[in-house]
Structure 1
């Protein structure tokens, strides 16, 4: 596949727009933070609505994971291409295109009357998010040029990113309980319309830079990962010997091999494979993939356990996750302060150990598990581990990066979050499906239909949690082969991340 060359005919932004934008920096900040909030909420706000979606659109238990995976795959697979589009077309134009696609897709998703229509809309949402998301930090950088205002803007950006999980879970519960599951998608429409009206009024266009769109790399990686995820989910429903299962894995191998070939020969590759040549970054990316796999699966399965087995309402389920989300944010702040003394490898290992403990604890729950006595404890332990680990692994991934590769490295970090979450969830769903089928043959005598269903679902969920603990335990082993990151104030020290942002909060909580 060839690259499409795109060049700019207009290099500088109009001075009148610059002046107008600079007189209203507060509005610029409101607009970009509203965009960031809308994008970051979209996974968790839908998570709480999953049981209602399953009933309304007749999803299978394993097929339900596509509601998350279809969004994550297109978002992650096209994220680097979206960042390149902002450079080429101008970041304001990129933002407007991305928000338009995202808003229309949200409307279509809310109107969906079938599972296929909803999944198509979710995939289209991911396309819009991939175009719009990279423009947020770029617009902050171009509109806030002095250190003080930029630091304030980045601090608010970090706060929005860090609190997104809690806001999304509560908001999803409120919308689903008071209105319907459709409103977790409809809510994006008025926000998107306001952004489309306000952005041209207050945000000036940035300089457009000639570059190449690596369309071949973007398409082969996205379709290849989708085929891989489909293979795992198909295996959960139809077994490993199924023709479509085997065909999906074969297609994934071919496309991902083609992706590697394209990236090694492209003049401007969408994924600089040389970043994986460094031992720390290779193990760091793998660690991030494992953690996002376990984290996304934990939210996905706990949501269903709370509502389908324990009978929580959507609002109650959303509030149940708040302690975990808050502890992720608090732990990341504390970990950032102790990072210079402890070092990123230690934080990564300690965080992975805490997540493993939390997941093993979750793997012991029964259908009668009470929230305070059986679920709150492992939630808090897992949240502590996630916040701590994300600081360590982000620091490892962003250390020793050449200035010209900082953008690619940080973009790839975010890609690994989305792709890792989708692939990991697919593997966990496969485990869940196999365990559920086995449990269906071992239902204890004397249980009614509801009790039998609760037993089967709980057995599948706890098995998935146990596998998740195995993934995070592998992260501990990976830290043993990482090199020590040179630090300024002790054994290791915190490197300055891109644009001065807190590394603990550049990573979106699962």
Structure 2
């Protein structure tokens, strides 16, 4: 019989966990499944918007509100709900989000007019704000910091990116073969399954005993809502529109007030010491860039395929398969690359590859097999870089923080994701529209917007490299 000396016992206790327990596997499947479904929900309606508009009587000018009605609450409330998950219990917030998602999806599928559709999308946005940071913080606190957590975050990033892509494919298939209403109905049984399984599989987290920073919560939520609304209004009406500029100015004032409140609050919603950590700051900056610009690429390529190449929604969706496959491969490889080269290099190189691939799309032509080959090759390379950057930023922005602040950390990463998705499309849509109107060519407008996209991503890669290198030094 072997007897452990005190030193040997301590070494065994300190040894890193190398494999998942059966319970951890169940938790991981459930949490990753919920994250995947939420990601699908963001993109599944993109190629179906014209059909929904015709079916429910939306004007062309108001069609964007089907997307914006979900994006506004998901971006505005994510940070608040992420912190509430720390205080009130993460499983409780996940279940509340799933219940609201089921209700909102059912209402969307049954919608008989614009008002009911907008209300359903708002409910889905609030559901995403509730469930996304809760699920991600449950994931990070279920596994010790290190290779296992990195691998789980890699899978999460894979499913997140694949979800956006598969959502576009699935939306095209459902719209062409059945009806756009099934893009809503498919969520209901999945959400119900999570509601049934989660209480038996996932233990409730212990709440942090502190008061909610109500002034901070109000100002940051209002600031994010006005920021997203201002950018969306500017994208629709132009960047010189007085109303859009007013909303953007209000956002600056509210977010500045939030920062001032956090400096003085006894129990801040988002402690400044966390917000100013280089890993949190530059990790989330990289995440903002990769999400904002890749979502714009998907939008611009959809515009290109349908209005320049004349593709149907189904064919458009299938053309994104390459991105989905590349994203899956990137998610599997990114944790290994991080283990070998470090998160800073993987995040920066992921952005660099995404930017270079987007630059390659600048040479898309008006038709022919060469255009399709370039589109598939460059978009797939960009998808691989994008998912590598996602995994890199999630690990960077959540590492080194205690379990009691993981809801805040994942709330920040989720907010970065939602705000990036929301901001990128209106900005580059405005660039494409302005240039297309001036030249009379949709292709020229798409080219200009893709060039702007690539410049932003490449500049972001350089800034992240410098910012995280200073931290390392």
Which category of TM-score, normalised to the shorter sequence, fits these structures? 0.7 to 0.9
Distance 1:387 1:266, change over 3 A: same
Structure-2 residue corresponding to 1:384:
384
| Superposition map of 1:18-37 within 5 A | 31-37=30-36
Summarize the Cα distance change of 1:421–1:167 in structure 2 as closer, same or farther, 3 Å threshold. Answer: closer
- Going from structure 1 to structure 2, the CA distance change for 1:33 and 1:283 (only over 3 Å counts) comes to closer
Is 1:132 the counterpart of 2:131? The answer is: yes
Q: 1:148 to 1:433 in 2, by over 3 A?
A: closer
1:258 corresponds to: 257
Residue 416 (structure 1) aligned with residue 442 (structure 2): no
User: What residue is the counterpart of 2:47 in the other structure?
Assistant: 48
Give runs of aligned pairs for residues 147-158 of structure 1, distance below 5 A: none
Contact 1:109 1:185 in 2 (8 A): yes
Deviation string, structure 1 residues 272-307 (Cα, Å, up to 9, x no partner): 332342345433322221221111111122223323
Distance 1:259 1:369 in 2: 52
Aligned length, in residue pairs: 451
Structure 1: give runs of 5+ residues left out of the alignment.
1-21, 444-454, 493-510
Kindly indicate whether the alpha-carbon contact (under 8 Å) linking 2:154 and 2:335 is maintained by their aligned counterparts in 1. Answer: no
Counterpart residue number, 1:435? 435
CA offsets per residue over residues 8-60 of structure 1, 9 Å max, x none?
Answer: xxxxxxxxxxxxxx999987666545433322221122233234335445667
Inter-CA distance 188–331: structure 2 relative to 1 (3 Å threshold)? closer
Match of 1:175 in 2: 174
Higher fraction of helix: 2
Q: Offset at 1:230?
A: 2.9
1:412-436 deviations in Å (ceiling 9; x for gaps): 1222111122122222222233223
1:88 deviates by 4.0
Indicate the SS of the match to 1:311: coil
| Correspondence for 2:467 among 439, 463, 482 | 482
How many Å apart are 1:485 and its aligned residue? 8.2
How far does residue 478 in structure 1 lie from its aligned partner after superposition? Answer: 0.3
Alignment partners' CA distance in 1, 2:438 and 2:394: 39
Partner of residue 222, structure 2 = 223
Q: Does 1:468 pair with 2:467?
A: no
Residue of structure 1 equivalent to 2:107: 108
Q: Which residue pairs with 1:249 in the alignment?
A: 248
Task: Report deviation, 1:376.
Answer: 1.0
Q: Spell out, residue by residue over 1:426-451, the C-alpha distance to the aligned partner (whole angstroms, 9 max, x if none).
A: 22222233223323xxx3xxxxxxxx
Contact 1:74 1:222 in 2 (8 A): no
Structure 1 residue 104: Cα displacement: 1.6
Is contact 1:65-1:425 (8 Å) kept? no
State the alpha-carbon separation in 1 of the partners of residues 220 and 320 from structure 2: 33
For residue 210 of structure 1, report the CA deviation from its aligned partner.
Answer: 3.5
What is the DSSP-based 3-state SS (H/G/I as helix, E as strand, rest coil) of the residue aligned with 1:268?
coil
**What is the correspondence of 1:389-400 to structure 2 with a 5 Å cutoff?**
389-400=389-400
Distance 1:428 1:148, change over 3 A: closer
Q: Alpha carbons of 1:111 and 1:466: their partners in 2 closer, same or farther (altered >3 Å)?
A: farther
* Distance in 1 between residues matched to 2:339 and 2:202, nearest whole Å: 38
SS in 2 for 1:285: helix
Q: Give the Cα–Cα distance (whole angstroms) in 2 for the partners of residues 35 and 175 of structure 1.
A: 21
8 A Cα contact 2:150 2:335, kept in partner = no
Task: Give the stretch that moved more between structures: 310-319 or 190-199.
Answer: 190-199
Partner of 2:5: none
CA contact (8 A) 1:352 1:389 kept: yes
Question: Which position in structure 1 is the counterpart of 2:282?
Answer: 283
CA contact (8 A) 1:233 1:430 kept: no
TM-score by length of 2: 0.81
Change over 3 Å in CA distance of 1:464–1:272 after alignment to 2:
farther
User: How far apart are the structure 1 equivalents of 2:238 and 2:147?
Assistant: 57
Check the 8 A contact 2:158/2:332 in 1, yes or no: no
Once the two structures are overlaid, the 10-residue window that deviates more, 309-318 or 464-473, is 309-318
Residue 407 (structure 1) shift: 4.5
Q: Is the 8 A contact 2:106 2:188 kept in 1?
A: yes
Note if contact 2:344-2:392 (Cα within 8 Å) is conserved in structure 1. Answer: yes
Scaled by the length of structure 1, what TM-score is found?
0.75
Change (3 A) 1:141 1:481: closer
SS at match of 2:379: helix
How far, CA to CA, are the matches of 1:81 and 1:159 in structure 2?
Answer: 26
Query: What do you get for the CA RMSD once the two structures are aligned?
Result: 3.7
1:362 and 2:364 aligned = no
